[in-house]
Amino acid sequence: MDKRQLSERDICTKFITPALRQAGWDEMTQLREEVSFTKGRIIVRGKLVIGPAIVKADCYRFKVHPGFCSRFALYNLNSPTCQRLAAAHHHGMTLVRIGLGNFRRIPIPVPSLLEQQRIVAKLDQLMAACDRLEARLSTAESEHAQLLEAVLHHALNSASASPIETPA
């Protein structure tokens, strides 16, 4: 790996932060990381945790209560209902954001842990089905483009070689 090709952010992520972590620094209280976003919708993904929160530049990191399924919280935060509630409490003109106080006011339904796990399993199953359908659609679109190109090629080459005869 040529380190001269890496950006400053890449060097921090790949080398400096791991070295500080290994030296015993507490990532939650002693390290800060600058993060920027492009315009558009931000999707919450990954291992999610709700509870004590750290707020930095409009990003929230929080821990999920042990009796709460983190993937259920993840799906809930990405739900259209939660997105609408967050949008109703946002502020800012050029950088739209939601304050921690309003973020904490977003209601999260809390069914039993067993029900949360059942819901997550069903959503995971449906998301996998969506991924498969999306892949099939992409394949179909690609095949459609290839077929159209072949038909046009055949039609244009056939037309110049021998004109189409129409029945009398």
Residue 168 belongs to a domain: no
Residues 29 and 47 in one domain: no
Q: Which two tokens stand for residue 139?
A: 């394949």
- The mean pLDDT of 40-68, rounded to a whole number, is 56
Residue 59 or residue 48, greater confidence? 59
Question: Domain tally for the chain?
Answer: 2
Query: DSSP secondary structure string, 21-73?
Result: HHTT--TTTT--------SSPPPP-SS---SSEEEETTEEEE---TTS-HHHH
Structure confidence by residue, pLDDT tens digits, 112-168: 889 999 999 999 999 899 999 999 999 999 999 999 998 988 888 875 555 555 555
Cβ distance 60 to 108 under 8 Å? Answer: no
Residues 131 and 68 in one domain: yes
Residues 30 and 43 in one domain: no
